[in-house]
Each structure stands twice: as C-alpha cells, then as structure tokens.
Amino acid sequence: MKQYFTRYNIALVLAIIGSILSVIGWVGVFKGNDALQVYVVGGMFFALIAYIFGGLLTALKMAVGIAKWGIFFDSFPLNILNVLVAFVLAVIILLFLPVFPVLKARSQYQNT
C-alpha cells in the first residue's frame, strides 16, 4: 500500500486536477464566461503544487527541448528570438497542462 503513495503519484493526481481545471477555465473564458477565470487560477495553483512534488525539472527539460526547435526556422538574429518565444510559450503551456511532464517524470522514476 505504501508504494501507491509515492510523491510522483501524488503529483500525478494534482496534475490531473490542475489540467482539468485549466481546460474548464479556458473553455469558459473563450466562450465569454469571465466567471470561470477562477478555474484557470486554480489549475495553475494545482500545477505548481504538482511540480513541487515531482516533475519540475522534467517540465523545464521539455520546455528547453521545444525551444531548441526555434533555432532551425530563421537566420542568426531572428533564431535567438524564436528560441526565447518558444521557451516562454512552452513554459506557459506546461503550466496549464502539467499532466504531461509529471507523467514523464513518473515513468522515468518507475524505470530506474
């Protein structure tokens, strides 16, 4: 029974709750219901707590991996801007959908 309460499993549950709240909130905001912005904030709160339990380094590694693709799309001065913009967008997306980095961190933990 103790194996089910690892910090990665707790982080996974929190990440699922955060992802669901974020999706509900963003769907409501895009439909024009501004009262559902509370769900977006709640989703970010659960995401940050999930990243504290496990998956923050994995999320940052995933964001850097996404940002590296910005190098290939333009010439020298613009590719640095592409990398920065891609990194910021990846961090924002991973903040609202924390389930993917936490799942990856959990699977890496189980494989070791």
- Given pLDDT bands bounded at 50, 70 and 90, which one contains residue 4? low
Residue 89 has pLDDT above 50, yes or no: yes
User: Helix, strand or coil for residue 31?
Assistant: coil
Give the C-alpha separation, 104 to 111, whole Å: 11
**pLDDT (tens digit per residue) in 51-83:** 998 888 888 888 888 888 877 777 777 778 888
- Given pLDDT bands bounded at 50, 70 and 90, which one contains residue 1? very low
Give the C-alpha separation, 19 to 105, whole Å: 16
**pLDDT (tens digit per residue) in 11-62:** 999 999 999 999 999 999 899 888 888 999 999 999 999 999 888 888 888 8
